[in-house]
């Protein structure tokens, strides 16, 4: 079970991976909704994909905050668009250096962000219900 959810209550789950990480999923205090996780996956992918480029220009310990917002269409029950904002201090760079850095960082995101590649096209998925004993 490389990645799995364990039910801990009504509409409440704990997600786990084989590296020992855990995330609480639900709609209560201290829990992420599935929509939150989708948005965070996109933001994280953008940040991680561009990180080396930003670090090369801004230094190993550069500070960055990445935000993400999604335009939710309640009638269709789907997100229609997402906006990711990567915030860092580039004031030490010349305008030319800043423009070059942004081109390189954008290129890295376009090449390496699997989540963005997946969301950019309609990605089919399937689900299967399996009946078997679940260990406590």
Q: What pLDDT is recorded for position 1?
A: 59
pLDDT tens, position by position, 68-115 = 999 999 999 999 999 999 999 999 999 999 999 999 999 999 999 999
Instruction: Tell me the residue range of the domain where 107 lies.
Output: 33-120
Mark whether 63 and 91 lie in a shared domain: yes
Q: What pLDDT is recorded for position 130?
A: 87
Residue 47 lies in a domain: yes
Of 45, 78, 46, 50, whose CA–CA distance to 62 is shortest?
50
Q: What is the pTM of this model?
A: 0.92
Of 114, 126, 116, whose CA–CA distance to 84 is shortest?
116
Residue 127 lies in a domain: no
Mark whether 46 and 113 lie in a shared domain: yes
Q: Which of 5-9, 98-102, 128-132 has the lowest mean pLDDT?
A: 128-132
- Number of domains making up the chain: 2
Mark whether 57 and 38 lie in a shared domain: yes
pLDDT above 90 for 19: yes
Mark whether 63 and 86 lie in a shared domain: yes
Mark whether 27 and 41 lie in a shared domain: no
Residue 92 lies in a domain: yes
Which backbone phi and psi does 21 adopt, to 5 degrees? Answer: -75, 150
Residue 135 lies in a domain: no
Residue 131 lies in a domain: no
Q: What pLDDT is recorded for position 2?
A: 85
Mark whether 67 and 97 lie in a shared domain: yes
């Amino acid at each position: 079970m490389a990645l799995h959810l364990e039910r801990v209550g009504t509409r409440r789950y704990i997600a786990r991976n084989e590296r020992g990480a855990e995330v609480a999923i639900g709609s209560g205090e201290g829990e992420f909704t599935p929509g939150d996780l989708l948005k965070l996956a996109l933001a994280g992918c953008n940040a991680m994909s561009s990180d080396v480029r930003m670090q090369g220009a801004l230094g190993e310990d550069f500070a960055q905050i990445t935000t993400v917002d999604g335009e939710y269409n309640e009638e269709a029950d789907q997100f229609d668009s997402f906006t990711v904002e990567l915030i860092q201090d580039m004031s030490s760079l010349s305008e030319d250096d800043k423009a070059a850095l942004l081109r390189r960082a954008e290129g890295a995101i376009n090449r390496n962000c699997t989540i963005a590649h997946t969301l950019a096209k309609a990605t089919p998925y399937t689900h299967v219900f399996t009946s078997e004993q679940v260990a406590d």
